[in-house]
Structure 1
Amino acid sequence: MSYVYYCQPDTGYFVVQLLSQVVYETNADVTASYEAMAKNPLVVVADQTDKGLLWFKFKDNQTVFLLSPQGKLQVKWNDVSEKRTLFKLVRNLLVSKSNEKLAITPVKQQTWINYPVPESFRLYWCDKTSEYILKTSLETGAMTNSAGKRSSSECGVKFQTAVKPASIGFDDVKVTLEDLRRELVFREPTLKEAAVEIDLSPAVLELFLKKAGWEPRSEREAISRAETAINLAGWIHLRQERRSEPELVALALRVVATASLDDIARAKAIIRDYPHLVPRATRKAIMWTEEAAAKWRQVFGKEPTCTGEVFDEKGYC
């Protein structure tokens, strides 16, 4: 279904659900479908027009369906509830061409609004993400209901839901996510940590976070990735220092060569943004700085397991 965001200066924002006509492309066989309809007690009208269109509707419902010989199905939906119910019936009613599974794909949609519209009228087309956010917000109460009187300038538009837009949007979530990343350094914030900073419903918040590139991690995975990144930062920094220690330089080359591009990017970010946290590689161990160890305790709430430890043949402790 389509939604209109309508702005009235005196009453705020409203969401209006509009009538929409949809054209579906199907592989239905008109003749076989007509024969099936004639036997189905739920179909009260089934006839073919002069142009060969199959015209039908269901019992106790006024919605009309038109099926063309080419398999195009046309219907004007009144609301989401009707669509949800009748679409299942249509799927069970239509008969596909021989040896094919029935397929119904929307290809065109038309929407009606009353005309003329008020000057404050605005129409926005939502992608699937926006529609999901709107639906979730309405269901969870993230968007606060707003009561308001209808004015004469509404042109007869019937409002089904009156709401105010959420005060926090995607850009706010993205900024907060970056702030948390800078604070935590070694890992991504958890959903709960983000929820403390951002006043949104969990479903909407998680959707926004993922859209911003956030990925949920288990504590074990977060620790492993953090250790890899900070140790790798030490080896990359050793190469950048151009130290005259052939064995260590050779090991640094091997470590970097076997690292993933993602690990390298995170290690370079530590070198660039947090040089005081970069460990120093020696012939026997990866030596973490006191600042790095302290930050680790703050972020993970436990002692680092890798500071000052002898590294293995891969260059990690």
Structure 2
Amino acid sequence: MDYERLIDEETWRFIGRTAESYPEDAVDLPIAEQRRLYDAMCREFRESYPAEIKTEDRSANGVPVRVYTLGDPTRTVVYFHGGGFVLGGLESHDDVCAEICAATGYRVVAVDYRLCPEYRHPAQFEDCWTATVWAAEEFGDPLVLAGDSAGGNLAACVAHHARGRLKNILGQVLIYPTLGGDVDQGSYLEHANAPMLTREDVLYYKKMRCGDGDAPTNDPTYEPLQDTDFSGLPPTVIFTADCDPLRDDGRDYRDRILAAGGTAHWMNEKGLVHGYLRARTTVGRARDSFERITIAIEALGQGIWCYD
């Protein structure tokens, strides 16, 4: 794959800056060291956010959350962070959540779910479901679900599980999500050695979720693409990075929803790599994508569909 041609200079600088804090072989390190480096990298890319944004750390029926508000919101975004189900927390995506709040005017509830390998599947899903139900009950607002990478998986898992259980989910916005596609075909092979995330990294994180046991099958709380029913899902917008082994998951998920008569749109961002949210202030392509992401969240919260 000719990444020198596909990826522009700004994005290469972002990739290089990331590697200074979080090396490509980080998955070979002990979990504690991975987390230390990941947290340091997130601090390196952290952006300040408007002083008008108010934050409060709370407990969502036992799950730690951080609530962001600006003014008097009438919608709530429940946000699930990325990090391969192993890394991240309330600090890693703090600025991203604050900027979503500022751009949309919606309340944002960031969820600090338990991490692997100390807690295996379904602990992450259970925490995300608990926090989502809490947000719906606590604030009484319609919800938009959102998340990046592993968090995109969890947002979709919650959306599938919510059918018939939780009303007023207006939409979901998934950012380079891992959804359970076939790792032996398509983008998993085409971009097996992509910058920022490789196929081997994906397999490593899968193992972290399940340990030495077999991965679940027919379990949409583990991988949404394992579901057999894609009807009744909220309007869905999926953003993928073109230079990412996970890319085709977004396309396939859109296709399953459309085939079931639902509403979905897939936006594949050319020349971008996994983790590009951290590049949203330094890379033009990432900045434009983040604007499209916040517009999608705001539009779904208003019941507006912009993609026909």
TM-score, normalised via structure 2 length: 0.22
User: Which protein, 1 or 2, shows the higher relative CO under an 8 Å CA cutoff with sep ≥ 6?
Assistant: 2
TM-score, normalised via structure 1 length: 0.22
